[in-house]
Amino acid sequence: MGIPQGSPISSLPYLIYTTPLIQSVNRSCNVKAVGFMDDWTLYQKGNQFEKNTREIEKAYNHLITEGDKLHFIYFTNKRIQEQLSRFNQYHQSENSVKLGVWLDQRLNFKIHIGKKLEASRRLQYVLSELIYQNRLQSKSSMAQKLVKLKGMQMN
């Protein structure tokens, strides 16, 4: 017996279980934690790379998670690849998607814009095909009506 997935009350057990966990991370670390179901984000804002990464690691150690699902992205306008080598145990990402918005390391949204343009082009193609098919059907239907009308006039 359990709560069906998608049920209006399915988020209640999640909140009961995770709210103290999120509050613990937010209190004990200089990091903010947000999460919903199995999608969590730890974030840290600051100018000191070493301090930021220590704080993120400290917060991460508060959480129980599957390491193979963990993705790490560091947003910056500087070149820091050599400093990120200590995070090789995690999956370093050059971009991440949160709530449908693609974020890249420089936060210039080029990936997000590209993905949305690609999706809009696909939609445009589908719509143009539908319009074309509709026009063909309309012409065919019109021709059938004309034939029927001519047949009626001869009688």
Tokens in use for 53?
Answer: 């990464």
Structural domain boundaries enclosing 53:
1-107
Within 13 A of 126's CA, how many CA atoms are on the CB side? 6
Distance CA 29, CA 23 (A): 10
- 32/67 same-domain check: yes
List alpha helices for 38-109, DSSP H.
Answer: 49-62
| Number of domains forming the structure of the chain | 2
pLDDT at 80 (0 to 100): 57
Is 68 in the same domain as 141? no
Backbone angles phi, psi at 14, to 5 degrees: -60, -50
Do 63 and 21 share a domain, yes or no? yes
Q: How far apart are CA 74 and CA 84, in angstroms?
A: 9
Whether residue 134 has pLDDT greater than 70: yes
The pLDDT, as a whole number, for residue 77 is: 62
pLDDT at residue 48, rounded to an integer: 79
Q: Are residues 96 and 132 in the same domain?
A: no
Q: Return the minimum-mean-pLDDT range out of 23-32, 88-97, 113-122.
A: 88-97
22 contacts 35 by C-beta, under 8 angstroms: yes
